[in-house]
Amino acid sequence: MAEPDFSLDLPALKSRFAQLRRFIDPDALGTRLAEIEGLMAGPDFWNDSRKAQEVIGESNRIKAKLLPFREIEGKIADLAVLAEFAAEDPGEAAQKELETEAKATLATLDAFELKVLLSGELDPHNAIISIHAGAGGTEACDWANMMLRMYQRYSERNGFKTEMLDILPGEEAGVKAVTLLVKGEYAYGYLKAERGVHRLVRMSPFNSQGKRQTSFSSLDVIAEVDDTINIEIPETEIRVDVFRAGGHGGQGVNTTDSAVRITHIPSGLVVVCQNERSQIKNRASALSVLKSRLYELEKDKQRSEMEKYYGEKGEIGWGRQIRSYVLQPYQMVKDLRTGEQTGDVQAVLDGALTPFIEAYLRGKKRTDIDPDEE
């Protein structure tokens, strides 16, 4: 009986695990955990309850990485032993056990890698996504509307809830701009992979000659900040305007001046919210979005990496796209950053974005581990 293919992947599995080791540095985590446990054992540990909670939180975060890492390390060691036994015993039972354990180990490693990749400070937060139609006129507005539906479907598939914060309809069809709040654990961690320009190629439904048309829309993502992040905005730094809300396609949402526009005077940032009938609720939502955008802006300044977040997007047009969606003359969705692609365009437009998001996160992890690795 020929050796199963998965036995040949054991060196590759060990290589992945070695990369993961370099990424999380378990030795450093173990040293820090020992230090924390020493602090927690001290007689005056609870004298400052707030600091004590912070230390306990750090301990839990370290254990959430270190314990699964050690478990996977043991599984890979066991797998190596099973592979040796299977090589000596070509019987079906030994091969089946090896295959079962190999698949289980790979699944555990896959899940843990993603968990590690989503360990950024803001990754667990809700996400605020903004879609803007770019080059392409009515076509681009229709494409922006298709993207809105795509991310709403993605959210449904993954157990996230969505809330429309603001929408600006297109003149003939679709939307010029829309802001959507995506609520759920790690919504920002996943959706940050989608930031950039998205390109659509299809036969134009708005052209009587049925010519092939290329359209662009951009998507920006920020994390919704909560009460754990203190951001003060003096009333003197904002201007609040109220107006009558309008719905998708021009229909009236209500007959009162409930929509709210907040302008942050120092930065020039403008936030509009009109999803609620209550002016008070819209004002609170707009302030939350403004705080999130100011926090993201400040983080960019601190890191001095504005290009990391906005350079990928740039001008909404040719040469700036992160992903292409081609409906004609063939069917293909391809991410230009990772090479991930599929011919099932309709599934992607229905929200099947997970393979693209995971490919980006894993590719980004590899870059973080070894900048010279291609």
Q: Which residue, among 284, 286, 290, has the nearest Cα to 269 in the 3D structure?
A: 290
Give residue 172's identity as a one-letter amino acid code. Answer: E
Phi, psi angles (nearest 5°) of residue 90: -75, 10
CATH 3.40.50.10190 fits 124-318, yes or no: no
Query: pTM score, two decimals?
Result: 0.69
pLDDT under 70: residue ranges of the chain: 1-8, 208, 210, 227-229, 246-256, 299-320, 364-374
State the Cα torsion 180-183-187-193 to the nearest 10°: 0
Query: What's CA 367's distance to the chain center, in Å?
Result: 17
What would the 3-class secondary structure string for 263-307 be? EECCCCCEEEECCCCCHHHHHHHHHHHHHHHHHHHHHHHHHCCHH
Indicate the pairing of strand 321-326 with strand 270-273. unpaired
- Per-residue pLDDT, 42: 92
- Per-residue pLDDT, 292: 85
Pick the CATH number of 5-117 from 3.20.20.70, 1.20.58.410, 3.40.190.10, 3.40.50.720: 1.20.58.410
The answer to whether 152 and 180 are in contact (CB under 8 A) is yes
Of all residues in the chain, what percent carry a pLDDT higher than 90?
42
- Per-residue pLDDT, 72: 94
Q: Which residue, among 170, 188, 54, 27, has the nearest Cα to 119 in the 3D structure?
A: 188
Q: Which residue, among 146, 196, 204, has the nearest Cα to 170 in the 3D structure?
A: 146
Range list of β-strands (E), the chain? 127-133, 161-169, 175-183, 196-203, 212-223, 238-243, 259-264, 270-273, 321-326, 332-335, 341-342
CA–CA separation, 70 and 76 (whole Å): 10
Most distant pair of Cα atoms in the chain: their distance: 81
- Per-residue pLDDT, 365: 57
Where exactly are the structural domains of the chain? Answer: 5-117, 124-318
Give residue 23's identity as a one-letter amino acid code. Answer: F
- Per-residue pLDDT, 253: 47
Is-same-fold flag (5-117; 124-318)?
Answer: no
- Per-residue pLDDT, 256: 62
The answer to whether 22 and 368 are in contact (CB under 8 A) is no
- Per-residue pLDDT, 247: 54
Q: Which residue, among 114, 198, 125, 196, has the nearest Cα to 160 in the 3D structure?
A: 125
Indicate the pairing of strand 196-203 with strand 321-326. parallel
Give residue 274's identity as a one-letter amino acid code. Answer: Q
Phi, psi angles (nearest 5°) of residue 247: -100, 180
If you ran DSSP here, which 8-state letter would residue 177 be given? E
- Per-residue pLDDT, 371: 39
Query: Helix (H, G, I), strand (E, B), or coil: what is residue 220?
Result: strand
The answer to whether 143 and 133 are in contact (CB under 8 A) is yes
Q: Which residue, among 1, 70, 79, has the nearest Cα to 29 in the 3D structure?
A: 70
State the Cα torsion 294-295-299-304 to the nearest 10°: 0
- Per-residue pLDDT, 249: 43
- Per-residue pLDDT, 372: 43
CA–CA separation, 56 and 61 (whole Å): 9
- Per-residue pLDDT, 306: 36
CA–CA separation, 196 and 190 (whole Å): 14
323's tokens = 């992903």
